[in-house]
Amino acid sequence: MHACRVVLVRTQNAGNLGSVARAMRNFGVRELVLVNPEASPLDEQAVALATRHASDILESARVVTTLSEALAGCVMSAGTSARTGGLYRRQSVLSLPQAAPRLVEAMLAGPVALVFGPERTGLENHEITTLTWQVTIPTSDEYPVMNLAQAVVVCLWELRRTWLNRDHAERVPDATSLAPTEIASAEDQERLFAHLRQALTRIRYLRGGRANALFHGIRHLLARANPSPMEVRLLLGLARQMEYVAQRTVWEEPE
C-alpha cells in the first residue's frame, strides 16, 4: 500500500486534512500531496484530528502548484467525482470496485494516485482529463455527494481490501494479464499527449470546435491501454514523423 499516493486538490477544510491523514495511517498509506491547498496541513484542527499517530503524514505532506506535479512518477491515477455526465467524464468512468483491481495491479509497477477535489466543487473537467480514470462511489441517488475525508476512507478501504485479497489468492497468469513493470510514467505519457496533439493539429485532424473533444477521446483511449515505455517511445516517433511531414506539406485551404 506504500505505492499508493493520496492527492488532495485545493482542500479548504483543515479538519479534512487531519482526518485524511489518520485514514491513511489506518490503511498503510504514507504519501500525501496537496495541490494549492487553501488550508494548512499544520493547522491546529488538522493536527488534532490526525492525532499523534498520523501527525507525521501532515508534517511530510508535499505541497505543489499543479496536478501534473502531484502525479509525477505515477503509472496510473484515479480521481473521485459524483458527476459523470458530459463528454469529458463519461468516457473514463469506473465504479470503485471496478477501479480497485486495476490500481492494485498497477501498484506492482510503481506509484498510483488517488485524487480528490475541493469540498465545494470537486474536480474540474480539465483536471479529470489528466487522470487515467474517474471513479465513482456507489452511493444513494438521493444524496451522492460525500464528505472529502469519508470518500478517502472508502477508497482506501476498497483498495486495501483488494490488495489483501490479491495477496492471498492464487494467481493464474493468462494472455490478457498486464505485465506490471510495463507501464509508462505519467510524465512520459503527458509528453506523448503533447506531441501527439500538436502533430494531429498540424495534419489537420484536429480542427474547429470539436478538436478538444476529439483529442480527449484519443487521450483516454491510449491512457486506458496502459502503454509501456517502449510503446510511448514508438508513438512519440510517429507523432514526430507526422510533424515532419506536415512542415513540408503545402495545404490547400477549403473553399
Three cell numbers, residue 105: 495491479
Using CA atoms, how far apart are residues 39 and 58, in angstroms rounded to an integer?
Answer: 12
Q: What is the pTM of this model?
A: 0.74
C-beta of residue 87 within 8 angstroms of C-beta of residue 213: yes
DSSP class of 228: -
Residue 38 contacts residue 11 (beta carbons within 8 Å) = yes
Q: What is the average pLDDT score of the chain?
A: 86
Q: Which helix (H) or strand (E) holds 201?
A: helix 186-202
The reported pLDDT for the residue numbered 232 is 85
Domains of the chain: 4-168 (3.40.1280.10), 186-247 (1.10.8)
What pLDDT digit, counting tens, does each position of 50-98 carry? Answer: 999 999 999 999 999 999 999 999 999 999 987 766 665 566 788 999 9
- Asked if residues 137 and 175 have their Cβ atoms less than 8 Å apart, the reply is no
Question: Residue 78 pairs with which residues in a beta bridge?
Answer: 114, 133
Task: Tell me the per-residue pLDDT of 180-215, one tens digit each, with 9 for 90 and over.
Answer: 457 888 888 888 888 888 888 888 888 888 888 888
Strands 133-136 and 76-80: parallel
Q: In Å, how far are 21, 79, 131, 250 from 125, measured between CA atoms?
A: 26, 11, 10, 36
> Which pLDDT tens digit goes with each residue over 210-253?
888 888 888 878 887 888 888 888 888 888 888 888 888 776 66
Cβ proximity of 204 and 254 under 8 Å:
no
Q: Give the containing element (helix H, strand E) for 78.
A: strand 76-80
Question: Bridge-partner residues for 232, per DSSP?
Answer: none
